[in-house]
């Protein structure tokens, strides 16, 4: 009998793609769970069973996860209030265990560690909650999305400079689409062992290299400038970003400067059968989105 699969956060960009890929592959019974099931009615129309699951309402989660063999816990976006996201994740792990889920999969981050930065810290402690449960698990440690460059590069191209605190060290980012394919493959597999996969791109790329690619593709000059983490934080503070978000974003650059984001792994190829998309190929395919807005 095929496994009953559940994806949380099915109305998010990643969750939605994972569900769509599972349905295309006809990967057995697919349950799509979201805070607001009405928003994923289209997935029901394509063949998914739809359920309500809000990690902020722990009392409802046991019923939401009932009868599920394998559950993909997609990390939430609640990163503004310290502690909120970790509480949500711990509640979801406890509910999955109580509901009798056999195998839990979790979208973590590469090189998680206990940290003042909410991102690494939440992922580290969520992994610990999973390791301490009675379920078997697959940890899918996602690198930073290459897609994030479409947020930072247009502004940088408009000014001609791109300031980072990465110390121009390499970052092996991965596309969200490759994450979705890898996550879907891991969820649909019949592997009930305990494994950690680093979901990365093909090779680390420095900010200077990214700047050169952006210049080649757009014809607009872009120079990478190395700044300190304090300068980066100050700039974000002046732009009005909330402190936890500043901590998270600065934390990414600091982690990159320390080499934590240079991890290279064959996991995307192994799980999906296809090589991961390079930064160059992603930017080439999304060239129009690089152009400065306005």
Ligand X SMILES: NC(=O)c1ccc[n+]([C@@H]2O[C@H](COP(=O)([O-])OP(=O)(O)OC[C@H]3O[C@@H](n4cnc5c(N)ncnc54)[C@H](OP(=O)(O)O)[C@@H]3O)[C@@H](O)[C@H]2O)c1
CB of 77 or CB of 219, closer to ligand X: 77
Tell me the closest approach of the beta carbon of residue 238 to ligand X, in angstroms: 23
Tell me the closest approach of the beta carbon of residue 157 to ligand X, in angstroms: 20
CB of 2 or CB of 44, closer to ligand X: 44
3-state secondary structure the chain: CCCEEEECCCCCHHHHHHHHHHHHCCCCEEEEEECCHHHHHHHHHCCCEEEECCCCCHHHHHHHCCCCCEEEECCCCCCCCCCHHHHHHHHHHHHHHHHCCCEEEEEEECCCCCCCCHHHHHHHHHHHHHHCCCCEEEEEEECCEHHHHHHHHHHHHHHCEEEECCCCCCECCECHHHHHHHHHHHHHCCCCCCEEEEECCCCCECHHHHHHHHHHHHCCCCEEEECCHHHHHHHHHHCCCCHHHHHHHHHHHHHHHCCCCCCCCCHHHHHHCCCCCCHHHHHHHCHHHHCCCC
Tell me the closest approach of the beta carbon of residue 240 to ligand X, in angstroms: 20
CB of 142 or CB of 224, closer to ligand X: 142
Tell me the closest approach of the beta carbon of residue 222 to ligand X, in angstroms: 21
CB of 88 or CB of 206, closer to ligand X: 88
Q: Which two tokens stand for residue 98?
A: 């109580």
CB of 13 or CB of 220, closer to ligand X: 13
Tell me the closest approach of the beta carbon of residue 248 to ligand X, in angstroms: 10
* Residues 114, 236: Cα–Cα separation, whole Å: 23
Strand 161-164 relative to strand 223-226, pairing: parallel
Tell me the closest approach of the beta carbon of residue 185 to ligand X, in angstroms: 17
Binding site for ligand X (CB under 6 A): 8-15, 34-35, 54-56, 74-78, 88, 107, 142, 144-145, 148, 176
Tell me the closest approach of the beta carbon of residue 160 to ligand X, in angstroms: 25
CB of 80 or CB of 294, closer to ligand X: 80
CB of 38 or CB of 275, closer to ligand X: 38
């Amino acid at each position: 009998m095929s496994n009953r699969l559940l994806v949380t956060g099915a109305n998010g960009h990643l969750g939605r793609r994972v569900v769509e890929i599972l349905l295309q592959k006809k990967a057995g019974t697919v349950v799509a769970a979201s805070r607001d099931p009405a928003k994923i009615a289209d997935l029901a129309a394509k063949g998914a069973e739809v359920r309500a699951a809000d990690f902020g309402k722990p009392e409802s989660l046991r019923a939401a996860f009932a009868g599920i063999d394998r559950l993909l816990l997609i990390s939430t976006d609640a990163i503004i209030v310290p502690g909120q996201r970790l509480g949500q994740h711990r509640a979801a792990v406890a509910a999955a265990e109580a509901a009798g889920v056999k195998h839990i999969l979790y979208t973590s981050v590469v090189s998680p560690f206990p940290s003042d930065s909410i991102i690494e810290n939440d992922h580290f402690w969520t992994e610990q909650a999973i390791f301490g449960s009675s379920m078997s698990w697959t940890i899918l440690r996602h690198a930073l999305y290459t897609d994030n460059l479409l947020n930072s590069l247009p502004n940088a191209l408009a000014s001609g400079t791109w300031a980072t605190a990465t110390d121009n060290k390499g970052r092996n980012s991965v596309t969200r689409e490759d994450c979705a394919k890898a996550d879907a493959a891991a969820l649909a597999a019949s592997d009930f062992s305990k494994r950690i996969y680093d979901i990365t791109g093909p090779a680390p790329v420095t900010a200077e290299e990214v700047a050169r690619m952006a210049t080649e593709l757009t014809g607009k000059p872009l120079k990478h400038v190395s700044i300190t983490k304090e300068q980066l934080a100050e700039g974000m503070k002046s732009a009005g970003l909330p402190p936890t978000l500043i901590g998270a974003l600065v934390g990414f650059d600091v982690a990159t400067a320390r080499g934590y984001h240079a991890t290279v792994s064959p996991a995307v190829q192994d799980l999906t059968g296809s090589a991961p998309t390079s930064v160059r190929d992603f930017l080439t395919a999304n060239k129009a989105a690089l152009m400065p807005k306005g």
